[in-house]
Structure 1
Amino acid sequence: MRRTHYAAIAVTAAVLFTGTGATYAAGSDVRPAVTHSTLADTAQPATVTPPTPGQIAALFDSWNAALATGDPNRVADLYAPGAVLLPTVASIRTTRAGIVDYFTKFLESKPVGKIQERYINILNDTSAIDTGLYQFTLTDKDGSKSTINARYTYVYELRGGHWLIINHHSSKVPTG
């Protein structure tokens, strides 16, 4: 009986003191505490629930669809203000103008991405990570196609009711 009591206290303390940035194991009943101040800081409604892995996977599909429009601003709209983009073959971008510039050049090759392997981690009600391997098919101006295999990580955060990319890293898969 005393052991159960202490376990309940530990769980209650963990919930009260972890805050919204804490993580929890899938299937766990222990979730970060949501207080009035944390809701005001994140501007999220009180009924926020953790996303499903399928919802996070669909964010890549939306990103890939934005690539297909050929409009770098549509792609940049998926990145949060202050997001960090570490592209596959270019220097780091930390501003919207830098992200638009990168995609202006990248979209010239009409990229089409395809996930090859994926791992999704739901961190809490408002953030998740999608990481793995993807392949891009690129089309040159003469119509010839090539592929690039790359590793990726997208860190998403729910802001103002929209899932946005706050960090995107992509790097070529090393050969050999």
Structure 2
Amino acid sequence: MQRIATNLFGAWFQIGKQFPKETLDEIAKRVGFGECTHRGELRVAVESRLPLAAVLEGVTARDRAAALFSHLRVWDTEENCGVLLYVLLAEHRIEIVADRGIAHKVAPAEWDAITQHMRDEFAQGRFREAVLTGVDEAGALLARHFPSDGTPRTNELPDQPLLL
């Protein structure tokens, strides 16, 4: 019942206030800047809430992130280097899904540290800072484990965050 109430009546409806155009543009700029330092492709998706049917079916934030990873084709990059940073506002959940090219190089604890730093920012009501922290730290992690080789590359995924 708690999940139903949270997704139906939580403050998820303020997504536009929490993520105005200026913030979305800044996130996109940081994603693009980070991608100059590594061979990964980072995609950010922020979802206000899960549909009631999904909650009733038992869909978790991790399930939803995995589905979006597929739907947004984050898995479909040339080097299998896509990473989805997913935030479910209604349930205060953050999930990071990494493609196989990166997942075998980066320990789960490293992704967990990023989500914890983001949670700390969200807990203080700093939505902009929370996502920028995730983008910056994921970019640094990718630069360490999947560094750029200096050759120009095609941007395979949009840098602009997706609000759902």
**TM-score tier (shorter):** under 0.3
The answer to which structure has the higher helix fraction is: 2
The answer to which structure has the higher strand fraction is: 1
Structure with more contact order per residue of length (Cα contacts < 8 Å, sep ≥ 6): 2
TM-score, normalising length: structure 1: 0.26
Rg larger for: 1
